[in-house]
């Protein structure tokens, strides 16, 4: 099978991650649809490392770059359609777009996704959520692709779903899903989305490059509260700073390196463990090599 996507060699990852840091990927591929992605994966050498990314909003790419191939899903797999009271969406669709798409057609249940700063693929992979909703609460079934380009349909019983965690059998990545919603007034859903976005703007440092929440919330508590209680708001290493607006966010003040951010993540973790006895679990995924 021939491929028709875009292949870039030795490509800087800065423009593909929301922190705007990171070294170069050996290869970056933007597929031209699902069939093209299948052909591309089938043609990769055996043992070639593969990483899938969407908006790069929950990702830190180290300064030494990424060996192997990065597959960019955003602006690649973007089909979205209605099937009764379900919405079928591919992995490259942004969560906010899915939420607004459903609301316009009088479907409720996906509004919370407007507050998730990523794509459907990322939301499926980590069971992203906010404001009381989680992605897999509304997923009826999903489609994955494996390392060899084979496509699989997965239901809830095929995956291990937890808080900010989804386990798949083998080396697979999400490429699409059906979201089961329910009928309601469009205006009600749209007003809820508007309120969620206003709250996000008021409480999160959206004016600076960030990757969303750094740590998962521990059971019965909030990571931001623990970090702030340690006096870490505004603490910085190099160009990376614990946001003064939201303590569970790290912002790039302009000249941060991935190493600055990774060292700040470790400092936040170690300080909370030392002062509160709570071991925070990182929500951000880290890939690549250090310089």
**CATH of the domain spanning 80-203:** 3.30.465.10
Domain 223-287 fold is 3.90.78
pLDDT category at 165 given cuts 50, 70, 90 is confident
**Residue ranges, CATH 3.90.78.10, the chain:** 223-287
pLDDT category at 215 given cuts 50, 70, 90 is very high
Element (H, E) at 236: strand 236-237
Q: What is the 3-state secondary structure (H, E, C) of 161-204?
A: EECCEEECCCCEEEEEEEEECEECCHHHHHHHHHHHHHHHHHHC
Active centre residues (catalytic) = 164, 213, 283
Q: What is the mean pLDDT of residues 185-195?
A: 94
pLDDT for 2 equals 63
pLDDT for 156 equals 87
Contact indicator for 36, 5 with CB cutoff of 8 Å: yes
**Residue ranges, CATH 3.30.43.10, the chain:** 6-72
pLDDT tens track for 102-151: 999 999 999 999 999 899 999 999 998 887 889 999 999 999 999 999 99
Contact indicator for 154, 145 with CB cutoff of 8 Å: no
pLDDT tens track for 222-246: 999 999 999 999 999 999 999 999 9
How far is it, in rounded angstroms, from Cα 20 to Cα 176? 26
Q: In sequence order, what are the residues at sequence separation of 6 or more whose Cβ sits closer than 8 angstroms to the Cβ of residue 198? A: none
Please state whether beta strands 250-252 and 240-242 pair in parallel, antiparallel, or not at all (unpaired).
Answer: antiparallel
pLDDT tens track for 265-275: 999 999 999 99
pLDDT tens track for 59-104: 999 999 999 999 999 889 999 999 989 999 999 999 999 999 999 9
Q: Does domain 6-72 have CATH number 1.10.287.990?
A: no
Element (H, E) at 38: helix 34-42
């Amino acid at each position: 099978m021939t491929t028709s996507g875009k292949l870039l060699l030795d490509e800087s990852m800065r423009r593909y991650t929301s922190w705007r840091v990171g070294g170069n990927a050996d290869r970056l591929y933007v597929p031209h649809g699902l069939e093209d992605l299948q052909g591309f994966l089938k043609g990769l050498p055996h043992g070639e490392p593969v990483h899938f990314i969407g908006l790069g909003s929950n990702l830190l790419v180290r300064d030494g770059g990424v060996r192997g191939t990065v597959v960019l899903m955003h602006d690649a797999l973007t089909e979205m359609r209605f099937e009764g009271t379900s919405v079928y969406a591919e992995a490259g669709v942004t969560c906010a777009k899915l939420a607004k798409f459903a609301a316009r057609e009088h479907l409720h249940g996906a509004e919370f996704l407007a507050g998730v700063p990523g794509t459907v693929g990322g939301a499926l992979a980590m069971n992203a959520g906010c404001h009381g909703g989680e992605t897999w609460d509304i997923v009826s079934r999903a489609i994955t692709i494996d390392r060899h380009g084979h496509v699989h349909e997965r239901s809830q019983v095929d995956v291990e779903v937890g808080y900010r965690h989804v386990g798949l059998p083998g080396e697979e990545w999400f490429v699409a899903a059906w979201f089961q919603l329910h009928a309601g007034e469009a205006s009600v859903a749209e007003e809820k989305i508007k309120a969620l976005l206003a709250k996000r703007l008021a409480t999160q440092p959206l004016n600076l490059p960030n990757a969303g929440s750094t740590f998962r919330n521990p059971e019965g508590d909030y990571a931001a509260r623990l970090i702030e209680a340690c006096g870490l708001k505004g603490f910085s290493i190099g160009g990376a700073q614990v946001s003064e607006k939201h303590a569970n966010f790290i912002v790039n003040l302009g000249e941060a390196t991935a190493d600055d951010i990774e060292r700040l993540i470790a400092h936040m973790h170690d300080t909370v463990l030392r002062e509160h006895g709570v071991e925070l679990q990182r929500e951000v995924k880290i890939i690549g090599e250090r310089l």
